[in-house]
Amino acid sequence: DFSGLAVGTKYHIGDTVNARHATITFEPYTMGGNPVGEAANFAEAQQAKIAGGAPPEMGLKTLTVKVVPIQPVTRVRMKLAQNMTPTGGFGISNFEVNGEKHEGPSFASANGKRLGGAEISANLVNVNPSSNWYVGTFELRAKPGGSISSFSIGGHTFRLDDMCFAQ
């Protein structure tokens, strides 16, 4: 969870956080492989529970979060919420596992994809039409005998919480 971060703390492209189990770097959000929205890119520890965990959670605005676990892991799981854009669609979602990148229309569109030696499971568990938030879980599972040494996730407007690693 993000309870160790002071609510209201903002992070920008190039910032790094050395957490207990991983190093987290904030990177550009991309569309078609090109950085987008540099002036608006930020992440913030927010006193909310939109993603479904206990507050605080990490809010992302046109930003990608790269996570490098201290030791490679075989599984990563998190709660994730994605907001629709003002035009009624989803912004492009950014994913990376072990250096292999993928862009998709929504986090749920990544379900069943294989990336960087891991399979993605993205499950939508709640849609709140009144607020335009699509909430679910996002999981990476390494192929048998493999591991996850880095992963990234980003989007136009995301909320992350309860990120768990398994060896």
Going residue by residue through the chain, which has 167 residues, state the pLDDT in tens, using 9 for 90 and above: 677 778 899 999 999 988 888 999 999 988 888 888 776 789 999 999 899 888 899 999 989 999 999 999 999 999 999 987 666 677 789 999 999 999 988 888 899 999 999 999 998 877 766 678 889 999 999 999 999 999 999 988 899 999 999 98
Q: Which amino acid is at 50?
A: I
Cross-strand partners of 69:
22
On whether the CB atoms of residues 113 and 141 are closer than 8 A, the answer is no
For the chain, give the secondary structure using H, E and C. Answer: CCCCCCCCCEECCCCEEECCCEEEEEEECEECCEECCHHHCEEEEECCCCCCCCCCEEEEEEEEEEEEECCCECEEEEEEEEECCCCCCCCCEEEEECCEEEEECCHHHHCCCEECCEEEEEEEEEEECCCCEEEEEEEEEECCCCCECCEEEEEEEEEEEEEEEEC
* pTM, two decimal places: 0.90
